[in-house]
Amino acid sequence: MRRPLCTAQAVRYNGAETVFAPGRIPLSVRRKDMPELPEVETVRQGLAAAMTGLRLQEVTLRRADLRLPFPDGFSPSVTGRRVMGLRRRAKYLLMDLDNGLTVIMHLGMSGRFTILPPEAQPAWPSLGPHDHVVFDLEDGARVVYADPRRFGLMTLCARARLDSHPLLAHLGAEPLGASFTADYLSAALRRRRTAIKSALLDQKIVVGIGNIYACEALFQARISPRRSSHTVPGRRAGRLVDAIRAVLEAALAAGGSSLRDYARTDGELGYFQHSFAVYDRAGAPCPRPGCSGTIRRLAQGGRSSFYCPACQR
DNA sequence: CGTACACCCTGGCCGC
DNA sequence: TGCGGCCAGGGTGTAC
């Protein structure tokens, strides 16, 4: 399918709705399907509702690895166990089992879970080539993990040693947690000379922010993605912390409502229509009221940044 | 240690 | 219209 030509496009900004003038600039209305913190949290809620308290009657691995190999004994360690609950740390999903083990799961870029309710069983879709893990629950429901690009992972860890697991030990602050403050961010950035955009993607500083929300938060905080990190501490760090929280919370709210919609239809979790102020909008007018700038695209660290050079400094 | 970049993978988009 | 090529991205590993 080709990208639609822009006729009129609505974008939400600070609660006010801005409508782009008709133009000839091709704008993709890209469906966001890269899991960042809000998407992972939405998936966590869906899985928790479907799995908590139930036994995993059968767990099937349909290949030997994703980004990493499944650990030896994965299926036997998990099969027959009861799911005590689902937690999230950064973009990792943590499924606690009743034998003291926790399943660590990451969606990578294209990982997705689908919940097939028991009553729909005769009409369940057959498994495709990218359906790598199948959890059959004791109530007859089925949870399928699919991941075309296989950047995701699934592994096991004793719950008592979870905090020192190599994947989790070096993670920075949760952006929606109490420890993520202007002072914390200022201290983390003070001696860094990389661009602030790259620092926001560094999971040792703050977790859960991917390329899209990094761009959106910098736009809302009116900070250029090119600004050197060590010039952010102080007032800008305060704006940035507020902007990160606002952007993630708005996406979480959208995810929650889409979860209810999807649960009624095909049970697919965490993927929803979402529009962005700057992400993937190169050439579009800046949506900030009163700003006449044009959104630009910039390559930083092998990744695309989108920003308004007129109002982000 | 901080920084920069290659790499993993495949669907989808682009140009020819 | 068909096909080859390139790009997207998170996280880790390596080289400077």
Q: What is the structure's pLDDT at A148?
A: 87
Task: Quote the tokens at residue A168.
Answer: 């989790």
- Nearest nt (C1') to A194 (CA)? B3
Q: What is the structure's pLDDT at A38?
A: 86
d(CA A261, CA A263): 5
Let me know if A36 is a catalytic residue.
Answer: yes
Query: Could you tell me the strand order of the sheet in which A112-116 lies?
Result: A56-61, A131-137, A142-146, A112-116
Residue A238: strand, helix, or coil: helix
Q: What is the structure's pLDDT at A171?
A: 92
Let me know if A91 is a catalytic residue.
Answer: yes
Catalytic residue (choose from A35, A38, A225, A285): A35
d(CA A279, CA A3): 15
Let me know if A303 is a catalytic residue.
Answer: yes
As a rounded value in angstroms, the CA-to-C1' distance for A7 and C13 is 45
Residue A201 Cβ < 7 Å to strand C: yes
- Report how far apart, in Å, the C-alpha atoms of A227 and of each of A118, A192, A198, A220, A307 are: 52, 11, 10, 15, 12
d(CA A69, CA A47): 23
Which nucleotides along chain B are within 7 A of a protein C-beta? 2-14
Q: What is the structure's pLDDT at A256?
A: 55
Residue A301 Cβ < 7 Å to strand B: yes
Beta-strand ranges (E) seen in chain A are 10-13, 16-19, 56-61, 83-89, 92-97, 101-106, 112-116, 131-137, 142-146, 153-158, 296-300, 303-307
Q: Name the protein residue, with chain letter, whose CA is nearest the C1' of B14.
A: A2
Q: Name the protein residue, with chain letter, whose CA is nearest the C1' of B2.
A: A192
Residue A274: strand, helix, or coil: coil
pTM of the model: 0.85
Q: Name the protein residue, with chain letter, whose CA is nearest the C1' of C8.
A: A303
A251-286 pLDDT, tens digit each: 888 765 554 443 333 344 444 445 788 988 888 899
Catalytic residue (choose from A32, A44, A81, A91): A91
Residue A148 Cβ < 7 Å to strand C: no
The C-alpha angle with vertex A22 and arms to A17 and A26, in degrees rounded to 5, equals: 100
Enumerate residue ranges in chain A where pLDDT < 70.
1-33, 255-274
Encode burial over A191-209: b for 16+ CB neighbours within 10 A, e otherwise.
ebeebbbbbbbeeebbbbb
> Cβ(A143)–Cβ(A47) under 8 Å?
yes
- Nearest nt (C1') to A302 (CA)? B5
Q: What is the structure's pLDDT at A114?
A: 85
Residue A106 Cβ < 7 Å to strand C: yes
Q: What is the structure's pLDDT at A46?
A: 85
A 85-144, residues with C-beta < 7 Å of strand B: 129-130
A87-127 pLDDT, tens digit each: 999 999 999 999 999 999 999 888 888 888 888 787 788 88
- By residue count, chain A amounts to 313
Residue A190 Cβ < 7 Å to strand B: no
Residue A1 Cβ < 7 Å to strand B: yes
Q: CA end-to-end span of chain A, whole Å? A: 36
